[in-house]
Structure 1
Amino acid sequence: MMPTVTQTLSTMRLTLEQTVLPALPADGAFVQEQVGLMMATLDWLVDVHESEYRYELTENEEYRAFFAAVGRETDAAPPAGDLAALRDQTRALKRAAADLVGDDEPARELLLGLAERQGRREQAWFRMTGFPEDVPGDIATVLAGAR
């Protein structure tokens, strides 16, 4: 069995904790801090990695729904399985939405709701950094409630 990316990240983190960190000099506060930051980053990656495609797809779907609600269908379907292409398409949808809204108050309200939902997803995505306040939960749970 091949290890998944999540399993590999978890193993890297465990190796840092069990092998590298104890081997560091006691007076090496800076290097200990750096290893701690790497471990925290690996913890974060483990937390979000398996939700990345779903996160991007949810945002793409919400922009498509926005365009449908304002009577402007989008041309292409979301690229299946291609994360970079999906992100590029979503960025294009965001630019088009910003250009479309202008002084259209109903469209602006729809876009505001979309932005609020995206903000909740971003808080969940970055929850392990300690910066977001009032985090709505882990990203997998937030995405599960997005539909």
Structure 2
Amino acid sequence: MVPDTRMRLATILKALNDIVGPAIPAEATFVHEQLALICKSLAIAIDHSAHEYAFVVCDAADVMSLARDLLAVMAEDFPGRTQLADLVARGEKVVPGSMPDHIGLEGFLRELKLAIETTTADLFTDPEDGRLRQMQRLILDHGDRQTLRERSWTIATGFESDARNIPPIEVLLYEQPFPAVANAGKPNALPVGSGVT
């Protein structure tokens, strides 16, 4: 599993508290004050990171609501009204229709991965079974895609041996065809039984 942003920041925070802090001389009060501010900022970033996208969605939805209300009051020939109306029309396609559940999605993803792992644990026991071979191929292909994303995601660490041939994460996330899902177009919809409310 690739460490997420919260895990990475928590690792840095722990190192600062457990290793860097104790190594600073006690009389260096200004340095200790600055370290405390840095640690506090990291703790805030850890707390906010899971909700950052939701914050942007909420802000965008609220501003969209304001824009609609203003358009309803504006005269048709009000300066800038056409541009504002065009932006609202674009927003209808860009701003999600419901609040994303980041934590719920992560929990559902863990549950689904575990279910797939449990269900397919014995796939490689019978190499002569055509259906098993087909499922093996699906899993291997998925593993290739997941590994590529993970290698791209961690490329900034400098440990990637083939960095030139790894697509940027922006390309893999935003420019590649998105896998078809049954709830496409419903940003906050999760399958029944996901445990998310």
Q: Specify which structure has the higher proportion of helix.
A: 1
CA radius of gyration, larger in? 2
